[in-house]
Amino acid sequence: MPEHNHIDLVELPAADPSALRAARDFYASAFGWSFTEYGDGYTDTPGSGVTLGVNAIPDEHQQRSPLTVLYVADLEAARQAVADAGGTILHDVYAFPGGRRFHFVDPAGNELAAWSEDPGA
């Protein structure tokens, strides 16, 4: 059972079952996630962990809607896996206080980011 008063999940929209399947297959390929299917219209992946951040840093990378950010150990390998799986790199790798990240768009049109610690810090 989920913890009381904790963020339980981040839900991404998909326009239709075909877009859902494309997004599911993308995340399975890029990040190795497995999914549980709940009919043709919903799928989820357990155990990926969630943290809620609030971003007010005004720069060219600032999104205007909620952003799901994934932690990865190897940022360059994750960027390549995203591209190989059919994702579109929206903002290439850049540094921010505490690490580095890139933004991408999945096949269903959702913007996400992946981050890692800065190996030079």
Residue entry with tokens 């009919």: 39
pLDDT tens by residue, the chain, 121 residues: 456 455 566 878 888 888 889 999 999 999 888 888 888 888 888 756 665 556 655 667 666 677 888 889 999 999 999 999 999 999 999 998 789 999 999 999 999 999 998 877 6
Please report the domains of the chain, with CATH numbers, ordered by start residue.
Answer: 17-116 (3.10.180.10)
Dump pLDDT digits (tens) for 22-50. Answer: 999 999 999 888 888 888 888 888 756 66
What is the pLDDT, as a whole number, of residue 48?
62
**What's the angle, vertex CA 5, arms to CA 3 and CA 7, rounded to 5?**
75
Coil, helix or strand at residue 92 = strand
* Mean pLDDT across the chain: 83
Task: Name 19's Cβ contacts closer than 8 Å, sequence gap at least 6.
Answer: 107, 108, 109
